[in-house]
Amino acid sequence: MIKSSHKFYNALSFLYPVIDVFIGAHKKRLISHANALPGLNLLEIGVGNGSCLKLYKDKVITAIDSSEGMLAEAKIKNGEGVQFIQMDGEKLDFSDAAFDIAVMCHVLAVTSNPDRMLTEAFRVLKPKGYLLILNHFTPDNFIGFIDRGFKPFARLLKFRSEFYFKDLDTSNYTIVNNLKCGKLGYFKLIILQKP
């Protein structure tokens, strides 16, 4: 993650219920798409407080986060049935081809090396496996100017406000779907597949 961001998110884990008010509907949409995909074993990278994990159906869930505070919140919310592991999404400690589905929900803009995280997800996905990404992506409209102006403050909050999908290396994947979430195309749900 961006340097020391796991400590930052440990300290702010209590605020995530407020954040979920704004992004909860998008997370539910992501999970609905994940539930419709074939495959049993699902890895959620950057699970945060795990507020929507109970919405997954018929999946064996492994949830990781680098923040022990977030994982503690997620365990309280979800109890049994999910394997929680403290782990860096850029250095996954799983064997190759271990998962049918991987999920990244608002994590790519806070990690130190997004392309490394995408590469690691590719490695641990089975052939024909899916990666679902939910994130803000700076659009080519007035919001782009806002994102650029917000950059100094965003650094304090340990994330990139100006963040473009086109800058990510997804060349190993096939883009299955690119869906707008909410108004103005600021949040997107992108579904990728490993060949």
Please write the tens of the pLDDT for every residue from 152-190. Answer: 565 665 666 567 899 999 999 999 999 999 877 789 999
Radius of gyration of the chain (CA): 16
Dist. CA 68–CA 87, nearest whole Å: 9
State the pLDDT at residue 116.
Answer: 98
Say what the pLDDT of residue 9 is.
54
Q: Which two tokens stand for residue 136?
A: 């803000």
Residue 17 has pLDDT above 80, yes or no: no
pLDDT of 127:
99
The pTM of the full predicted model, rounded to 2 decimals, is 0.86
The average pLDDT across 13-27 equals 63
More confident residue, 111 or 1: 111
Query: How much is the average pLDDT of 61-75?
Result: 93
pLDDT value of residue 170 = 97
CATH at 136:
3.40.50.150
Percent of the chain past pLDDT 70, that is, above it, reads 77
Total domains in the chain come to: 1
Which of 116, 157, 118, 160 is CA-nearest to residue 138?
A: 160
Looking at residues 9-27, what average pLDDT do you find?
Answer: 61
Assess whether pLDDT exceeds 50 at residue 3. Answer: no
Q: How many residues does the chain have?
A: 195
Other C-beta atoms closer than 10 Å to the C-beta of 111 total 23
| Mean pLDDT value across residues 95-120 | 96
pLDDT at position 16 is 55
Domain that holds residue 98: 5-193
Residue that the structure tokens 């949040």 belong to: 187
